[in-house]
Amino acid sequence: MHNETKLLAGGMVMLSLATSALVVLPYLTVRDTPPTQGLKPYTSAELRGREQYIRNGCVYCHSQQPRAQSLGPDLSRGWGRASVAGDYAYDTPHLLGTMRTGPDLLNVGARQPSEDWHLGHLFQPRAYVPGSIMPSYPYLFEQKERAAPGEHVVALPSGHVKPGQVLVARPEALDLVAYLKALDRTMPALPPNSRQGAP
């Protein structure tokens, strides 16, 4: 009985130390970090698109955390500067991701600002990136003979839509692309004490 108590007490002490080191201290370090200068809150369309990003599993194959040059070749890949805590000020939950089956997307809005490119890529990735293993998302679109007023017709390379039909993006696709285009953290990551107006 005495040894079981020691074992339980030791386990609780180790759990407390691990929780403090891995959860509490990092939280205390970044909890009051202001947004990166120039970062804007998401619009309602971008927030709906963020939900589509989560719902369609994009986070399973894409990260949103470019690494520092000393930690990896992300800068030479064109993925932008290393991310900082302020880049995620408006993200709840954070979608950092752990896999890079596809490229990092934190700055995809700067790398690829074309709405039509993103829409076409969602419908048929291999039409834009030969050999891509990204799945297509045809349920975010509708093929029809003629688009109604106000509907967004997606221009695709030939051979990807049935002859005599047009491809129309559903609102979910437009929202997802709005979110992807909002992923632009190319503004300088200034240290907090170098911001304008700081003492």
| pLDDT score, position 199 | 42
Question: What domain range includes position 80?
Answer: 35-136+172-189
133-142 tens-digit pLDDT:
999 999 999 9
Q: Is 43 among the domain residues?
A: yes
| pLDDT score, position 1 | 59
| pLDDT score, position 70 | 87
What tokens does 154 get?
């997606």
What is the tally of structural domains in the chain?
1
Q: Is 167 among the domain residues?
A: no
CATH of residue 47: 1.10.760.10
Q: Is 40 among the domain residues?
A: yes
Entry pTM? 0.83
Q: Is 176 among the domain residues?
A: yes
- Give the residue carrying structure tokens 């709906």: 48
| Cis, bond preceding 188 (omega within 30 deg of 0) | no
Q: How many separate helices (H) and strands (E) can be counted in the chain?
A: 6, 3
Dihedral of CA 132/135/136/140: which sign? Answer: negative
Q: Is 143 among the domain residues?
A: no
Q: Is 82 among the domain residues?
A: yes
Q: Tell me: pLDDT of 192 over 70.
A: no
**pLDDT grade, residue 162 (50/70/90)?**
confident
114-133 tens-digit pLDDT:
999 999 999 999 999 999 99
Task: Name the residue with higher pLDDT: 2 or 8.
Answer: 8
Q: Is 148 among the domain residues?
A: no
Q: Is 116 among the domain residues?
A: yes
Strand order in the sheet with 152-154: 141-144, 166-169, 152-154
| Total residues belonging to the chain | 199
